[in-house]
Amino acid sequence: MLIAGLGGLGLLGLIYYSKIKALINLQKTLPQYLENIYGDLPEINLTITMTELQISLGFSDEVLIKNQDIEGRVREYLGDYYNQFKPERLKISIHPRSKS
Protein backbone atom coordinates (compact mmCIF):
# COMPACT_ATOMS: atom_id res chain seq x y z
CA MET A 1 0.00 0.00 0.00
CA LEU A 2 2.85 2.37 0.85
CA ILE A 3 4.57 1.60 -2.45
CA ALA A 4 1.39 2.35 -4.42
CA GLY A 5 0.99 5.65 -2.57
CA LEU A 6 4.58 6.64 -3.28
CA GLY A 7 4.15 5.64 -6.93
CA GLY A 8 1.03 7.77 -7.22
CA LEU A 9 2.77 10.69 -5.55
CA GLY A 10 5.72 10.32 -7.92
CA LEU A 11 3.41 10.33 -10.93
CA LEU A 12 1.66 13.45 -9.67
CA GLY A 13 5.02 15.14 -9.20
CA LEU A 14 6.02 14.23 -12.75
CA ILE A 15 2.78 15.66 -14.13
CA TYR A 16 3.27 18.96 -12.31
CA TYR A 17 6.92 19.12 -13.31
CA SER A 18 5.82 18.76 -16.93
CA LYS A 19 3.24 21.53 -16.54
CA ILE A 20 5.68 23.92 -14.87
CA LYS A 21 8.31 23.29 -17.53
CA ALA A 22 5.71 23.92 -20.24
CA LEU A 23 4.60 27.10 -18.45
CA ILE A 24 8.17 28.44 -18.46
CA ASN A 25 8.46 27.74 -22.19
CA LEU A 26 5.02 29.25 -22.84
CA GLN A 27 6.04 32.48 -21.11
CA LYS A 28 8.89 32.78 -23.61
CA THR A 29 7.16 31.67 -26.81
CA LEU A 30 3.58 33.00 -26.58
CA PRO A 31 4.50 36.72 -26.60
CA GLN A 32 6.75 36.21 -29.64
CA TYR A 33 4.05 34.23 -31.44
CA LEU A 34 1.46 36.94 -30.81
CA GLU A 35 3.88 39.70 -31.80
CA ASN A 36 4.50 37.92 -35.12
CA ILE A 37 0.76 37.80 -35.79
CA TYR A 38 -0.41 41.18 -34.49
CA GLY A 39 2.76 43.28 -34.68
CA ASP A 40 2.55 44.17 -30.99
CA LEU A 41 4.38 42.52 -28.10
CA PRO A 42 1.75 41.91 -25.41
CA GLU A 43 2.12 42.15 -21.67
CA ILE A 44 1.66 38.64 -20.34
CA ASN A 45 0.87 37.22 -16.94
CA LEU A 46 0.56 33.46 -16.45
CA THR A 47 -0.84 31.89 -13.31
CA ILE A 48 -1.19 28.18 -12.77
CA THR A 49 -3.28 26.65 -10.00
CA MET A 50 -4.10 23.05 -9.18
CA THR A 51 -7.08 23.15 -11.54
CA GLU A 52 -6.51 25.79 -14.22
CA LEU A 53 -4.15 27.99 -16.20
CA GLN A 54 -4.93 31.69 -16.24
CA ILE A 55 -3.48 33.81 -19.02
CA SER A 56 -3.76 37.58 -18.97
CA LEU A 57 -2.69 39.47 -22.10
CA GLY A 58 -2.40 43.23 -22.49
CA PHE A 59 -2.40 44.73 -25.99
CA SER A 60 -2.50 48.24 -27.39
CA ASP A 61 -5.96 49.68 -28.01
CA GLU A 62 -5.30 49.58 -31.77
CA VAL A 63 -4.67 45.83 -31.76
CA LEU A 64 -7.75 45.16 -29.62
CA ILE A 65 -9.98 47.18 -31.96
CA LYS A 66 -8.68 45.52 -35.15
CA ASN A 67 -8.55 41.92 -33.88
CA GLN A 68 -11.43 40.11 -32.24
CA ASP A 69 -9.84 36.65 -32.63
CA ILE A 70 -7.00 36.90 -30.08
CA GLU A 71 -8.47 34.44 -27.58
CA GLY A 72 -9.15 31.91 -30.34
CA ARG A 73 -5.58 32.21 -31.61
CA VAL A 74 -4.18 31.68 -28.12
CA ARG A 75 -6.37 28.60 -27.58
CA GLU A 76 -5.34 27.20 -30.97
CA TYR A 77 -1.64 27.79 -30.19
CA LEU A 78 -1.93 26.07 -26.82
CA GLY A 79 -3.80 23.16 -28.38
CA ASP A 80 -1.11 22.72 -31.03
CA TYR A 81 2.02 23.11 -28.89
CA TYR A 82 1.06 22.83 -25.22
CA ASN A 83 -1.44 20.01 -24.84
CA GLN A 84 -0.48 19.66 -21.15
CA PHE A 85 -3.09 22.36 -20.54
CA LYS A 86 -6.64 21.17 -21.16
CA PRO A 87 -8.82 23.66 -23.10
CA GLU A 88 -11.66 23.46 -20.57
CA ARG A 89 -9.24 24.49 -17.82
CA LEU A 90 -7.93 27.63 -19.53
CA LYS A 91 -9.02 31.07 -18.47
CA ILE A 92 -7.87 33.75 -20.89
CA SER A 93 -8.38 37.47 -20.33
CA ILE A 94 -7.47 40.09 -22.89
CA HIS A 95 -7.34 43.74 -21.92
CA PRO A 96 -5.75 47.06 -22.89
CA ARG A 97 -2.09 47.30 -22.01
CA SER A 98 -1.48 49.24 -18.80
CA LYS A 99 -0.12 52.72 -19.29
CA SER A 100 3.17 53.13 -17.42
- pLDDT for res 35: 97
- Total domains present in the chain: 1
* CATH code at position 53: 3.30.300.30
The Cα–Cα gap between 55 and 33 comes to: 15
Q: Return the DSSP state at 50.
A: S
Residue 84 domain-assigned (yes or no): yes
Q: Letter for the amino acid at 60?
A: S
Residue 40 domain-assigned (yes or no): yes
Residue 1 has pLDDT above 80, yes or no: no
Decide: 54 and 61 in contact? Cβ < 8 Å: no
Tell me the three state secondary structure of residue 84. coil
Q: What is the pLDDT of residues 41-71, one digit of tens each?
A: 999 999 988 789 999 999 999 999 999 999 9
